[in-house]
């Protein structure tokens, strides 16, 4: 039977590797074999419920009473910020960095874009 309700502890996990490609440039991949000297990382997200979806959509829609505009980049950002629960990133002292809005804002665009693309794929499967 398919569950019709999302529980607070329902999550999904993205595992990936950060390192260099064969040309020595920084790269991120879902496959360990695509990365030279790979560091293993993960991000865990809560599965979005109806309330999450309403809040995410509301934060990215604007209207001037004649036209409604949706900002897909803001929608993706809000989904990341709202659903991020845990990740493997640590500071220089090897202490876990909590995935808050402030810390998510500090991610490199390359890493954040990679994670958001994976999240988009997973949320599509979840909804």
pLDDT tens per residue, range 87-111: 999 999 999 999 999 999 999 999 9
Q: Strand 36-46 to strand 84-87: parallel, antiparallel, or no bridges (unpaired)?
A: antiparallel
Residue 51 lies in a domain: yes
Compute how many other C-beta atoms are within 10 angstroms of the C-beta atom of residue 100.
11
Asked if residue 84 lies in contact with residue 43, where contact means CB atoms within 8 angstroms, the answer is: yes
* Residue 41 domain-assigned (yes or no): yes
Considering the domain boundaries, does residue 6 fall inside one?
Answer: no
Task: Determine the structural domain holding residue 75 and report its residue range.
Answer: 11-119
Number of structural domains the chain divides into = 1
Kindly report, residue by residue over 8-67, the tens digit of the pLDDT: 899 999 999 999 988 889 999 999 999 999 999 999 999 999 999 999 999 999 988 899
Residue 38 lies in a domain: yes
Judge whether 108 lies within some domain: yes
């Amino acid at each position: 039977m398919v569950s019709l309700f999302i529980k607070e502890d329902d999550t999904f996990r993205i595992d990936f590797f950060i390192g260099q490609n064969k040309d020595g440039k920084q790269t991120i991949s879902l496959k360990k074999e695509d990365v030279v000297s790979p560091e293993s990382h993960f991000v865990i997200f809560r599965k979005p419920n109806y309330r999450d979806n309403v809040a995410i959509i509301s934060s990215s829609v604007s209207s001037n009473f004649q036209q409604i505009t949706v900002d897909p980049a803001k929608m993706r950002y809000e989904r990341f910020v709202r659903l991020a629960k845990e990740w493997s990133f640590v500071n220089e002292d090897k202490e876990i960095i909590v995935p808050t809005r402030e810390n998510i804002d500090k991610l490199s665009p390359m890493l954040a874009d990679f994670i958001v693309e994976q999240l988009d794929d997973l949320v599509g499967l979840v909804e």
